[in-house]
Amino acid sequence: MAVGLATVGGCTDPSTVVGFDEADPGARIRAIQQAGGQEDRQSLGKLIEALDSDDPAVRFLAVRALEKRTGQTFGYEHFASRSDREAAMKSWQDWFERTKS
């Protein structure tokens, strides 16, 4: 999966993605949960990246946050194997690209 999803256009507010890259698992999880209530694309991109986390709890919370924001999951199951998740993650990436305008 791509290392990071590009944000598009305009100024970005770094505060919306604070915590995603923290070493502390609790901080990462709080960031994900917070992102579920935000509306910016940067945190949306971070949530999509989190779908590829090694931590199944992070993956679960990320897809729940994405579902809360977008109403969809693209069939992503947080407990599926990586190969099974790849198709759904690709769908998310493609959707993210399509919706950048």
Partner 1 sequence: MGRVGKQLGQARMASKGSVKQAEVVPGKGLAAAGPAVGEGSGASSDAASGPAEICLEVRSNPLYLSAARELVAAATRRLGFLEEASSQIALAVDEALCNVIRHGYDRDPHRPIWISLFPEGNGWGNGLGNRSGNGGDGVVPGSVETRFPTLMRIVIEDEAKQVDPAEIKSRDLEEVRPGGLGVHIIKSVMDEVRYERREPIGMRLTMVKIRRESVEGVENDSTSTNKPATAPMVGRNDGRACGGGGVHG
- Binding residues for partner 1, rule: CB under 8 A, are 24-27, 29-30, 33, 54-58, 60-61, 64, 77-85
Q: In terms of Cα–Cα distance, which of 3, 4, 5, 33 is closest to 18? A: 33
CB of 52 to partner 1, least distance (A): 12
- Of 41 and 61, the one with the shorter C-beta distance to partner 1 is 61
Residue keyed to tokens 């769908």: 91
Between the alpha carbon of residue 84 and those of residues 72, 76, 90, the distances in Å are 17, 8, 11
CB of 27 to partner 1, least distance (A): 7
Distance CA 44, CA 2 (A): 14
CB of 96 to partner 1, least distance (A): 22
- Of 41 and 47, the one with the shorter C-beta distance to partner 1 is 47
Q: What is the dihedral of CA 34, 36, 37, 42, to 10 degrees?
A: 80
- Of 41 and 49, the one with the shorter C-beta distance to partner 1 is 49
